[in-house]
Amino acid sequence: MTNANPNPLLEVDNLHVTFTTHGGTVQAVRGVSLSLKPGETLAIVGESGCGKSVTARSLMRLLPEHSSRITGGSIRFKGRELTALNERQMRELRGSEISMIFQDAMTALNPTISIGEQIMEGIVRHRKVSRSEARKQAIEILKLVGIPNPEARLKQYLHEFSGGMRQRIMIAIAVVCEPSVLIADEPTTALDVTIQAQIIELFKKLQERTGVSIIIITHDLGVVAKIADRVNVMYAGQVVESGTVDELFQHPQHPYTQGLLGSMPRLDMEKDVPLTPIPGTPPDLFAPPKGCAFAARCPYAMKVCGAYPPEPVSVSASHTAACWLQDERAQNVFQPPIKINIKSALG
């Protein structure tokens, strides 16, 4: 959790990413800013297609080489500008300084190579140690992530592990070289609820041990409440609201965040609690609207919302919302339609 050092480890400023497709140019990420302090956990939430994965992959510079482009903004990590690094320099950072866990272990891991070889590969590459030392470290990390009988398990292949165990192996590979930033893109989505909770506990344990900063992309508010310090809410390639977990759960300021809180499932939720989907669909990112991207779906939209994009406004020192309702000249139409009880979200 948050540590005393206030300097950001990672700072993204006004990032823009586009994809060139047959249908034209997709503006997938449109001015995303975020910062991450040492030891902190930032959650990124938002509907499917809003640019969460593209933002995450930009940090790793793992976007499709030919079809995508970072067209603006900066990504500073420990004082270095990542957008300016070449592939060789990025390869040195990946795994050793910044690691990523993908949603689907089955496609992210190699089914034709033993688990041990896949874990040792990173250790040998980044730590320049002997194979026997790498093997020792691989056994240690498998123990740490909770895989029983690691000596024997090292020789096995992906298909010999359950879904939860595969996710633990991905985590082992991601953290074995003790990166300072761990990016987890929907790491629990494919797992059943009990295993999800165990994986979240594992992230917390790893963070306590190593002080790693975590960016977690998730659809689950229970996961957010359990692990995150702060939350960025994304909509149509932009961050529309950002604040601490308490601020966003108890005083959501952006109508989109309010809608999202009522529409997202939670780890701890009783089966019969109804979810209220936000009516309408996100805008077309081939031709994003010139005003607020959420205006067409917003119950409070004013004329200005369709005409000019809202700038982020500070609600508190740690809380911003990009919404015209925050303008002091706006009428007070604001009636948060739902209240989330953080105690119940925390389970």
Ligand X SMILES: Nc1ncnc2c1ncn2[C@@H]1O[C@H](COP(=O)(O)OP(=O)(O)O)[C@@H](O)[C@H]1O
Q: Which is nearer to ligand X, 44 or 145 (CB)?
A: 44
Examine residue 58 and tell whether it contacts Mg ion (CB under 5 A). Answer: no
231 binds, among ligand X, Mg ion, none (CB under 5 to 8 A by kind): none
Judged by CB under 6 A, the chain residues 12 through 31 that form the site for ligand X are 19, 21, 26, 28
**Closer residue to Mg ion in complex, CB, 56/267:** 56
Q: For the CB of residue 28, give the shortest distance to ligand X in the complex, in Å.
A: 3
**Binding at 21: pick from Mg ion, ligand X, none (beta carbon under 5-8 Å per type):** ligand X
d(CA 206, CA 89): 26
* 3 state DSSP class of 47: coil
Q: Which is nearer to ligand X, 173 or 233 (CB)?
A: 233
* H or E stretch at 68: strand 68-77
The span from the CA of 243 to the CA of 247, in Å, is 6
**Interface region with Mg ion, contact rule CB under 5 A, candidates 47-55, 231-239, 302-310, 313-321:** 47-55
State both tokens at 157. 């292949």
**Count of C-beta atoms within a 10 Å radius of residue 279:** 8
53 binds Mg ion (CB under 5 A): yes
Q: Could you give the string, one character per residue 236-275, with x where binding to ligand X holds by CB under 6 A and - elsewhere?
A: ----------------------------------------
The answer to whether residue 27 forms part of the interface with Mg ion (CB under 5 A) is: no
> CB–CB of 41/1 below 8 Å?
yes
- Interatomic CA distance for residues 262 and 280, integer angstroms: 15
Tokens for 268? 């701890």
Cβ pair 302, 329 in contact under 8 A: no
d(CA 74, CA 180): 19
Candidates 9, 10, 15, 52: give the one binding ligand X (CB under 6 A): 52
Residue among 118 and 232 whose Cβ is closer to Mg ion:
232
312 lines the binding site for ligand X (CB under 6 A): no
Q: What are phi and psi of 151, to 5 degrees?
A: -60, -45
Let me know: does 9 contact 36? Beta carbons within 8 Å.
yes
- List the interface residues with ligand X, window 282-311 (CB under 6 A): 285
Closer residue to ligand X, CB minimum distance, 48 or 335: 48
Q: Which residues bind to ligand X, rule: CB under 6 A?
A: 19, 21, 26, 28, 46, 48-54, 64, 67, 285
